[in-house]
Copies of this chain bind each other. A is one copy, B any other.
Amino acid sequence: MKIELSFPSSHMFLGIPDVVIQELGSELPFTQTELDELSTSVIEGCTNALEHGNKMVDEVPVRLEIEFDPTRIEITIFDQGEGFDFESIDFSQAPTDLMQERGRGIYIMHTYCDELSFFRQNGSFAVRMVKIPRSRAKDGDGGDADAIARED
């Protein structure tokens, strides 16, 4: 199943992907910690898309495709920029200078997600992240999670 979302390239709208993922995740067998990790990663990806990709031009949208079933959520974030030389970067390293003010976004996505990849497609640049729930039995309130789990 699929949800699509697009919003203008302004920090003001970064709360929107967050609430969509939190709400969607509440219907799937993810823990709150897992949802927070995914949500934070998506906010990092969207921040990069609107800052580096779309250069903060309001009219250029950040676009999200959210594909999911009870076993995974896969999110692809598209911007209209050139991208960057991602092959040459080691995502697994945080800045060693702890006082450095930037440069943690990709490292956070890499740490929090089960899969992370970048690619170009039809003039867009994209980052795709996948999150898999550790346990399909959600602690406490698995009611709706069960409902969707029965579907497939």
Contact surface of A with B, Cβ cutoff 8 Å? 1-8, 12-13, 15-16, 18-20, 22-24, 26-27, 58, 61, 144, 147-148
Contacts and interface: CB of A to CB of B under 8 A. Distances in A.
Contacts of A147: 12
B12 A148 contact: yes
Which 6 pairs, one residue from A and one from B, show the smallest C-beta to C-beta distance? A19-B19, A4-B6, A19-B23, A15-B23, A3-B7, A1-B8
Contacts of A22: 19
Nearest to A68: B8
A144 B14 CA distance: 13
A89 to B, nearest CB: 31
Copies in the complex: 2
Contacts of A27: 12-13, 15
A61 to B, nearest CB: 8
A90 B23 CA distance: 35
Given A12-B147, A13-B24, 13 more contacts: A1-B8, A1-B58, A2-B61, A3-B8, A3-B16, A4-B4, A5-B20, A12-B148, A15-B26, A16-B20, A16-B23, A19-B19, A19-B23
A59 to B, nearest CB: 8
A1 B57 CA distance: 12
Nearest to A58: B1
Nearest to A6: B4
